[in-house]
């Protein structure tokens, strides 16, 4: 896709979703880190419901590690994969206490070394908690980017690299939110609402369906 079309897409997204922001509720980098870990294969609405209770007592790594895996698992069970998530959250919390004085590190290299923390989670934390330009590629960003044609890739990492190349760095974080909101509201997985999509004039999925859907 040429630069002009990418610029047009970004302008339309900004105009369409001026209020786009992180859907996870958090009051600190640590809360955002835990919430993002919980959000794997779970809705943000469900995570927010669970953490609204969890963070009343366990909103720091020091407090979190007072729980056993079974106790934490019981509190986050409705988020799915609770055994693995509770194990990773507690392991990460211990590491934060032991290596970082209870603080969440703010570099990609340090974050992805934490148990259960991949690039997507690290990008979310860097962007929303520390204001570091980043593009977290979740299922919405992956799908919408490929359909539009602004980033082609068979893996989230490849799409992330393409988006970083094609989008100005100053817009990385905002674009991440724009693409998520567009994926949730219009460019849905099973039935995209192309008829009412403001990006249709620039979209490869809409204009060349025989190539995208084959």
Give yes or no: 193 in active site: no
Give yes or no: 138 in active site: yes
In whole angstroms, what is the distance from residue 99 CA to residue 87 CA? 18
Residue 194 annotated in ligand binding:
yes
Catalytic residue, candidates 14, 44, 63, 120: 120
Residue 42 annotated in ligand binding:
no
Residue 79 annotated in ligand binding:
no
Q: Which residues contact 132 (CB under 8 A, 6 or more apart)?
A: 106, 126
Catalytic residue, candidates 85, 123, 138, 174: 138
Are the beta carbons of 116 and 125 closer than 8 angstroms?
A: no
> In 3D, which of 94, 175, 182 has the Cα closest to residue 134?
175
41: left (phi over 0), alpha (psi -120 to 50) or beta: left
DSSP state at residue 103: P
42: left (phi over 0), alpha (psi -120 to 50) or beta: beta
Residue 197 annotated in ligand binding:
yes
Active-site positions? 120, 138
What residue numbers does the annotated binding site for [4Fe-4S] cluster cover? 187, 194, 197, 203
Binding residues: 187, 194, 197, 203
């Amino acid at each position: 896709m040429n630069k002009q079309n990418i610029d047009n897409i970004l302008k339309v997204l900004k105009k369409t979703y001026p209020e786009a922001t992180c859907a996870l509720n958090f009051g600190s980098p640590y809360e955002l880190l835990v919430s993002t870990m919980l959000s794997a294969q779970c809705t943000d609405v469900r995570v927010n419901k669970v953490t609204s209770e969890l963070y009343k007592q366990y909103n720091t790594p020091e407090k979190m590690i007072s729980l056993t895996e079974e106790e934490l698992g019981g509190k986050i069970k409705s988020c799915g994969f609770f055994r693995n998530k509770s194990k990773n959250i507690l392991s990460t919390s211990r590491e934060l206490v032991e290596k970082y004085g209870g603080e969440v590190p703010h570099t990609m290299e340090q974050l992805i070394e934490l148990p259960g923390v991949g690039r997507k989670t690290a990008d979310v934390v860097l962007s929303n908690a520390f204001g570091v330009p980043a593009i977290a590629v979740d299922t919405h960003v992956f799908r919408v980017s490929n359909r539009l044609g602004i980033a082609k890739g068979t893996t989230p990492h490849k799409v992330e690299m393409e988006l970083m190349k094609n989008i100005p760095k100053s817009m990385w974080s905002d674009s991440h939110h724009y693409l998520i909101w567009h994926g949730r509201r219009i460019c849905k997985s099973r039935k995209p609402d192309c008829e009412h999509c403001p990006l249709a004039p620039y979209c490869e999925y809409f204009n060349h369906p025989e190539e995208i859907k084959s």
